[in-house]
Amino acid sequence: MARSSNDLPATGSPGGFAEKLDSNGDLIQKRLYGKDGRAIKNIDYGHDHSGVGNPHAHDWDWTATPPGQPARSLKPENDDAKTGFLHRGMDRYHHP
């Protein structure tokens, strides 16, 4: 799938994250970057994929083509509890 000009970057600050907001300022996607600065996980908000839930996760596997993986249900043990990743942060990248 071709990347859109409004996609969050596949690489970012090592250990950081980026947030994508809609035109109303609502969070629609959050992307977590690994220690090497490459995307490792997306959390998508505002839609469901085949019953996996809203919000839901997409993991990234850089050994696969494409690296962005299919949607899956959230796992509180690794999507929220340790990182607080589901919650909006103050240090975020606002993507137009």
What confidence tens digit (pLDDT) does each residue in 20-46 have? 999 999 889 999 999 999 999 999 999
Q: Determine the pLDDT at residue 94.
A: 38
pLDDT band with cut points at 50, 70 and 90 for residue 18: very high
Tell me, what's the pLDDT at 92? 41
Domain ranges in the chain are: 17-95
pTM surpassing 0.85? no
Residue 95 pLDDT more than 70?
no
Q: Are strands 17-21 and 94-95 parallel, antiparallel or unpaired?
A: parallel
Secondary-structure breakdown of the chain: helix, strand, coil percentages, each rounded to the nearest 5: 5, 35, 60
